[in-house]
Structure 1
Amino acid sequence: MHARAVAASTTALAGVVVLLLPLSPARAAESARAAEGTGGAAAAPVIVAHRGASGYAPENTLAAVDKAAALGTEWVENDVQRTKDGELVVLHDDSLVRTTDVEEVFPDRAPWKVKDFTAAEIARLDAGNWFGPEYAGARVPTLEQFVHRVDRHRQKLLLEIKNPQLYPGIERDILKVLADEGWLDRRHVRQRLIVQSFSADSVRTVHELAPAVKTGFLGTPPVADLPAYAAFTDQINPSHGSLTADYVSAVHALKGAHGKRLEAFTWTVNDAAAARRVAGFGVDGIITNNPDVVRDAVGC
């Protein structure tokens, strides 16, 4: 990042204060329901729309957020990358090829990596037509645009930091945007926001920069290593194919970085049988492209 951007990020983070005023009765009730839904003795796991409701709309687009909302899904997952000029955009791959028309718009710019394009150039790309003609013209949203849409639907966000090794300092950049957009106030960090990554270093960095933010590690660390992860994360989020009931029990036996029971959200579960299987293991959340299918299977 440029020195000016780093300085701005540091200033913004220094000014972030989690509010300490008492909650109103309505907010207190909402907080209790949220705590019940993301840990403790929940009757059914939380359902998270993976990249939005990506089984029904182009992944990581605002249309996928809208579809998740239409299906009644509270939690939405997304992926964040950084452009050449430092803008944060919501895209799963570090390449633009799979989910946009970048090869047609910029035929001479191979290998079409996100980090090699400006935000203005990426804003020109069609990110919907590959999924279906009804989504032609959908764009790659910026992180600001994405959180605005999530806020509009009063949804909650599971934000994944993608490829942090490609974008040094991206954790600070993400936290600055979240702070600027009001997502680091007490209500958001307690009830509506989780930041996760496959990189333990990235998760640890988020915890150090913004200790109030709930975090998750994507993967299945050996049981013997779980206490070390619990020092800086609140969730261990394995793929459903690697999961067993014993592993979930081992996760739940520990307290995470905020002193509450360590949670397990599993991914990516798209059919009813797999949803019932992992729910039987006692997972706290299920990340899915098809939130309606999972909801109907596990009875939430």
Structure 2
Amino acid sequence: MLRTPESAPARPLIIGHRGASGYRPEHSESAYRLAFELGAEFVEPDIVATSDGVLVVRHENEISGTTDVADHEEFRDRRTTKTVDGQSLTGWFTEDFTWDELSTLRTRERLPKLRPDSAKHDGEEPILRLSDVLGIIDEESERAGREFGVVIEIKHAAYFQAAGLDLVPILIRELLRSGWNERPARLVIESFELGALDRVRESGLRGKLVFLAERIGAPADEPIGDDPKRSYGWYRSDDGLDLLAGRVHGISVAKGDLLRLDALGNAVGPTTLVERAHARGLSVYTWTLRPENRFLNLGFRSSLSPSEWGDWSGEFGMIVESGVDGIFVDHPDLGAQIVAPGFSA
């Protein structure tokens, strides 16, 4: 179940980030099944919508980097430019396709230069709906004889709502239909937009709610109602945590927000964020733990090669020492190693 400060275990929850996305193209069936084999307890699908209101699992609604859509001659005319949460993007967008059309696409590795072994699996698998992922979790739970869980991220909620595809009621209907509303200990809903989480809470949906906070910028739905516009940094302040404590169960932050740096940018220990959040009854989760030098703090890099693995166990260990309740990992086996009793970096 989702960890809470009152019953926090000696180790954090291991969450497979888009499945085992360090080994297989993200959000593919093999990535999700492999995540559980490698030690993940929960997995994290991101949800966006099709033109006919089907929730599909993609990190972004622009899909040229993670599918073969550009190779489909019949979809060439769908290429367009849109502004999503203030960012101009050119490509192909899920909301311009029906599910039947998207089901013809195949997954691709998002970072082929960094993860060539994963890229070898390009084109092997179709993209998935949220309903497919929930079915995989049920199957893997039965196979393993234990109950696995899901962390569902609502992507670009305000953007989709303005486009007439409100993700919140679509998600609620899917969870009610599939019976996942009856599994609150295994269900987490997260979003970078607090307004979306407010609406999920007000619906009476069971499960835990987690607010995602980027390092910089502000949520796309700010300001909410009559409140002033608030940055992600403000939400990590004491005042921000006070507000969140009355509206969500936890906060999920970039790992850099848990690492205290010296003048050279080297991580030297944890910040006070976990301690301050726990004092308000909030769980804390962090993303994304990855072993490649490109993603590690300067002090843990082994070389100038971005794809070479550095001292991942040193960085992961420092983050775990902060007291964090859950870690999002691309390589669930590394997460399992770092939280194992007696593991030494």
Aligned to 1:124: 104
Determine helix, strand or coil for the equivalent of 2:247.
Answer: coil
User: 1:231 Cα shift?
Assistant: 1.3
Residues 133-178 of structure 1, C-alpha deviation per residue, up to 9 Å, x if partnerless? 4353311101111110011112210110011122222111101101
User: 1:67 Cα shift?
Assistant: 0.7
Confirm whether residue 292 of structure 1 aligns to residue 324 of structure 2: no
Q: Taking structure 1 as the reference length, what is the TM-score of the superposition?
A: 0.81
2:203 pairs with one of 205, 209, 212? 209
Q: In 2, Cα distance between the equivalents of 1:213 and 1:298?
A: 25
Aligned to 2:152: 159
Kindly report which structure 2 residues correspond to 1:1-300, keeping only aligned pairs within 5 A, or say none.
34=1, 40-105=7-72, 106-111=75-80, 112-128=92-108, 131-154=118-141, 155-168=148-161, 169-185=166-182, 188-189=183-184, 191-219=185-213, 221=235, 222-243=237-258, 244-254=270-280, 261-270=281-290, 271-299=312-340
Structure having the higher strand fraction is 2
Give the aligned residue type for 1:231: G
Does the 8 A contact of 2:21 with 2:31 survive in 1?
yes
Q: In 1, Cα distance between the equivalents of 2:254 and 2:3?
A: 23
Residues 68-105 of structure 1, C-alpha deviation per residue, up to 9 Å, x if partnerless? 12113211011000001111100001101000011111
Does the 8 A contact of 2:189 with 2:208 survive in 1?
yes
User: 1:290 Cα shift?
Assistant: 1.1
- The number of residue pairs the alignment matches comes to 258
Say if 1:122 and 1:36 are closer, same or farther in 2 by CA, change over 3 A.
closer
Q: Taking structure 2 as the reference length, what is the TM-score of the superposition?
A: 0.71
Residues 279-298 of structure 1, C-alpha deviation per residue, up to 9 Å, x if partnerless? 11100001110111122123
Q: In 2, Cα distance between the equivalents of 1:35 and 1:143?
A: 20
Residues 181-211 of structure 1, C-alpha deviation per residue, up to 9 Å, x if partnerless? 11001xx11x211000000111111111125
Q: In 2, Cα distance between the equivalents of 1:183 and 1:216?
A: 17
Q: In 1, Cα distance between the equivalents of 2:238 and 2:4?
A: 25
Segments of structure 1 that go 5 or more residues without pairing to the other structure are: 1-33, 255-260
Q: In 1, Cα distance between the equivalents of 2:79 and 2:133?
A: 27
Does the 8 A contact of 2:47 with 2:153 survive in 1?
yes
Determine helix, strand or coil for the equivalent of 2:206.
Answer: coil
Range with greater deviation from structure 2 (276-285 or 216-225): 216-225
Range with greater deviation from structure 2 (122-131 or 266-275): 122-131
Determine helix, strand or coil for the equivalent of 1:153.
Answer: helix
Does the 8 A contact of 1:39 with 1:284 survive in 2?
no
Residues 234-285 of structure 1, C-alpha deviation per residue, up to 9 Å, x if partnerless? 011110001244111110011xxxxxx3100111012322211111110000
Aligned to 2:296: none
CA RMSD of aligned residues (A): 1.8
Q: In 2, Cα distance between the equivalents of 1:211 and 1:65?
A: 25
